[in-house]
Structures are given as C-alpha cells and as structure tokens.
Amino acid sequence: MAFELPELPYAYDALNPFMSAETLEFHHDKHHNAYVTVGNGLAADAGMSDKSLEEVVLASFGNNAPLFNNASQHLNHMHFWKWMKPNGGGKSMSGALEAKINEIKTKYPEPSDKPKRVQTPRTRQQSSQRPRQSKSSGKRKSGGRPPRRR
C-alpha cells in the first residue's frame, strides 16, 4: 500500500513561538513529503508496493539502504508530529517505554561532569613548543600554507 503524507494534527502556527508556521509547513509539506514520494518510488522499484510501511522498513533493513532510509524517516515523522502539541506538557509515554528509558538511565547515568582533558607526554610537549603569534600581526604575512616545522 502506498505511503501517504498524514495531515498535521494541528495548524501550522500551533507551535509558535517554539516552531514557526513557516518551519512547520516546510518540514511537513516538503521534508516529510519527500520521504513519502521518494519512498513510494523506491518501494515500487523493489516490488514492495503492496506491503505496509512497517513491513517495508523491516524488509529493507540491511538490504536496501535508500528505501530503508525513506520508509523509516516517513515512520519517524509520523510519530514526530504526534509527540508535539500546542502548549506542550503532558506525559504520553506508554508504561513499557517509560520503564525501558528508566532502565537505561539507571544503567548509563548521565555524567556528573564534563570529561577531563588528559595530557599525555606528547600533547604536553606539543603545547609547550607551540609558537606564539606576535601581538603586532595576527595574520601570516605571505598567506597560503604555514611554514613546515621540522
């Protein structure tokens, strides 16, 4: 069955000021629609026009990258439109999805701090040998490639 571009579940300007009407219209009407039209052509080429979107995604995975990309992006965008709503808020995750996310968060907690830079003997030596630019001219005189260091 052919892929179809779904109607947005809200008006183009419903997500202002977080997403402009112009952005939403472009994203839905051009971007998402391209996945639908290109995906339909690729599905036809692959003899999968009679399959559901989910069947096409599964069948193309690992076998037909362009078809997989377009079909799965179509699927992603259909969910994406539903996850947003005017005035935001809410909690609409299924219990199973929320439990899985919490399980992953427990397994892989967010780092409490930014990663620290580790200086190896080599990087320590490089930073101490790095030539300083003169304060009078911030640019190289000749342009082009920097002189080769030995």
Q: Which of residues 18-37 bind Fe ion (CB under 5 A)?
A: 31
Looking at the Cβ atoms of 31 and 105, the one nearer to Fe ion is: 31
Instruction: Count the residues of the shown chain that bind Fe ion, applying the rule CB under 5 A.
Output: 1
Please report how close the Cβ of residue 31 comes to Fe ion at its closest, in angstroms: 5
Looking at the Cβ atoms of 21 and 99, the one nearer to Fe ion is: 21
Please report how close the Cβ of residue 42 comes to Fe ion at its closest, in angstroms: 18
Looking at the Cβ atoms of 26 and 124, the one nearer to Fe ion is: 26
Please report how close the Cβ of residue 77 comes to Fe ion at its closest, in angstroms: 6
Provide the token pair at 15. 């997500």
Handedness of CA 116, 120, 121, 122 (dihedral sign): negative
Which residue's CB atom is positioned nearest to Fe ion?
31
- The answer to whether 52 and 1 are in contact (CB under 8 A) is yes
Q: Which of residues 74-103 bind Fe ion (CB under 5 A)?
A: none
Which ranges of the chain would DSSP assign to H, the alpha helix? 21-25, 33-45, 53-60, 65-83, 95-107, 121-129
Q: Which residues contact 15 (CB under 8 A, 6 or more apart)?
A: 24, 84, 86
Q: Which residues bind Fe ion (CB under 5 A)?
A: 31
